[in-house]
């Protein structure tokens, strides 16, 4: 390891207070989602910081007062050396008034070797460590041959996929590191997709006609959409049980691929037979599956259920999947992805972790989901690696351990230097 890099790693320890102050400052920006539409001040802070360190800045509104920030630091030999995306979200989980925080959730404190505040674990700790590592490299005037693309995105907590907007804007790299909550494990993830299933009658009937549609001799071919949706729910439960015994994935407990009937809406008035019913479902699936595959499996199974019912066969359910925002259109997608442990970027990250912590990192899967799925979906090799743990993410008195934050910052510093100095076109040999 070069002496300059060793000196910078020592500075992470020596300047620990600066790292903590940076995290506390990020936490002070109140960016909970929901309600969202509140990240502009925080994003401007990050944009200005990156600009001071030589990055060119692309900042644009995804929603009003919710801009993405992408900083690009062109490498000294971009054509020949590997590029890197560092990705994190600036929004944090919502805070309810009745939560019993020790202090104001957005006024971070240090207590028992931890920083406490909303977003400390999920995931302003990850952003702070990455920003501080970049700062140290810049201050030392250490040239980085490969491009560094820093993405601070909005909307991850409410499925608004600021990262997807970065992909649509054309940002690409040889490797993407999502610095979200992983307890310093190198992770892929399963996926999540929401959908709406609608059962709708072609006609509307008065409540007084119910006898004619359910009793002998009534001769009225009609049904309550709410009651028919019960068959759809039964069908979803049948498919969920089938998945539980026919599908599995290492490190996921059996049956983690669930179909949750989360919200049901239907009917218009007590004097009407319900002519429409809508079911909002959330589907969790495994890292080796795609959301397109899952959509197809659900639709095909429910279509078979409908064909077996006389009324549903004439009034088949319709499906609407995903969405760009849980706030705007009540829908979201988080694509799944697997970590490719044979990829050189993952090997470099593993080696950096080993050098700093003197132990092998765990390579596995996140129990939750991140924006990393969109980067992988765009064809970019991706891994999740960040400080903090799921027990603290979204929790009251959310916190991150300072020792872990410092270790993470050192690993990121080491890895950024190592990956940026990796030539393109090389072999994927062990290192």
Confidence band for 431, pLDDT divided at 50, 70 and 90: very low
Q: Averaged over 289-295, what is the pLDDT?
A: 98
pLDDT digits (tens, 9 = 90+) for 248-277: 999 899 999 999 999 999 999 999 999 999
Residue 86 β-bridge partners: 150, 177
Map out the domains of the chain as residue ranges.
3-189+337-420, 191-321
**Local structure of 228: helix, strand or coil:** helix
Report whether 164 contacts 78 (CB < 8 A): no
What is the per-residue pLDDT across 75-131, written as a single tens digit (0 to 9) for each? 999 999 999 999 999 999 999 999 999 999 999 999 999 999 999 999 999 999 999
> Residue 186: which pLDDT band, with cuts at 50, 70 and 90?
very high
Q: Which residues pair with 176 in a beta bridge?
A: 85, 382
Report CA-CA distances (Å) from 302 to 234, 257, 261, 281.
Answer: 10, 17, 14, 13
Beta pairing, strands 148-153 & 84-89: parallel
Residues taking part in catalysis = 91, 156
Q: Identify the pLDDT of residue 70.
A: 98
Which pLDDT belongs to residue 427? 55
Specify the pTM. Answer: 0.94
Strand, helix or coil for residue 171: coil
pLDDT reading at 426 higher than 90: no
Q: In whole angstroms, give the CA distance from residue 171 to residue 149.
A: 8
Tokens of 420: 């940026």
CATH topology of domain 3-189+337-420: Aminopeptidase (3.40.630)
CA atoms within 13 A on the CB side of 23: 33
Sign of CA dihedral 379, 381, 382, 383: positive
pLDDT in tens, 153-185: 999 999 998 999 999 999 999 999 999 999 999
In order of 85, 188, 248, 286, 427, the CA distances from 365 in angstroms are 20, 5, 13, 10, 26
pLDDT of residue 425: 83
pLDDT at residue 4, as a whole number = 87
Average pLDDT of the chain to the nearest whole number: 96
CATH topology of domain 191-321: Alpha-Beta Plaits (3.30.70)
User: Mean pLDDT throughout 224-232?
Assistant: 98
């Amino acid at each position: 390891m070069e002496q300059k890099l060793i000196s910078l790693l020592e500075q992470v320890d020596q300047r620990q207070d600066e790292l903590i102050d940076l995290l506390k400052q990020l936490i002070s920006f109140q960016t909970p989602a929901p309600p969202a539409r509140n990240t502009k001040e925080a994003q401007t802070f990050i944009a200005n910081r990156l600009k001071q360190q030589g990055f060119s800045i692309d900042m644009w509104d995804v929603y009003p007062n919710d801009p993405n920030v992408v900083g690009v630091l062109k490498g000294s030999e971009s054509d020949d050396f590997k590029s890197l995306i560092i990705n994190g979200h600036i929004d944090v989980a919502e805070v309810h008034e009745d939560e019993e925080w020790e202090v104001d959730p957005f006024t971070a404190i240090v207590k028992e070797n931890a920083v406490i505040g909303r977003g400390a674990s999920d995931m302003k700790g990850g952003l702070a460590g990455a920003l501080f590592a970049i700062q140290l490299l810049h201050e030392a005037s250490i040239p980085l041959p490969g491009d560094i693309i820093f993405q601070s995105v909005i909307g991850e907590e409410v499925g608004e996929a600021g990262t997807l907007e970065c992909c649509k804007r054309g940002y690409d790299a040889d490797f993407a590191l999502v610095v979200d909550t992983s307890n310093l494990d190198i992770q892929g993830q399963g996926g999540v997709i929401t959908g709406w299933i609608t059962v709708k009658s072609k006609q509307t009937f008065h409540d007084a006609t119910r006898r004619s549609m359910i009793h002998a001799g009534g001769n009225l071919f009609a049904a309550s959409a709410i009651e028919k949706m019960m068959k759809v729910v039964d069908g979803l439960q049948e498919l969920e049980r089938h998945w539980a015994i026919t599908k599995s994935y290492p490190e996921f407990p059996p049956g983690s691929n669930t179909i949750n009937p989360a919200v049901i809406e239907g009917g218009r008035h007590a004097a009407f037979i319900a002519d429409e019913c809508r079911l909002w479902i959330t589907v969790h699936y495994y890292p080796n599956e795609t959301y397109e595959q899952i959509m197809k499996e659900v639709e095909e199974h429910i279509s078979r259920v409908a064909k077996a019912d006389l009324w549903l066969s004439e009034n088949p359910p319709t499906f609407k999947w995903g969405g760009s925002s849980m706030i705007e259109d009540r829908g979201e997608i988080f694509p799944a992805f697997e970590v490719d442990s044979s990829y050189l970027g993952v090997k470099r990250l593993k080696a950096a972790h080993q050098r700093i912590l003197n132990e092998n990192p765990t390579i596995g899967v996140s129990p939750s989901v991140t924006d990393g799925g969109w980067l992988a979906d765009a064809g970019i090799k991706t891994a999740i690696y960040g400080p903090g743990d799921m027990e603290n993410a979204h929790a009251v008195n959310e916190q991150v351990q300072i020792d872990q934050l410092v270790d993470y910052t050192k690993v990121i510093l080491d890895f950024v230097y190592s990956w940026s100095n990796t030539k393109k076109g090389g072999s994927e040999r062990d290192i």
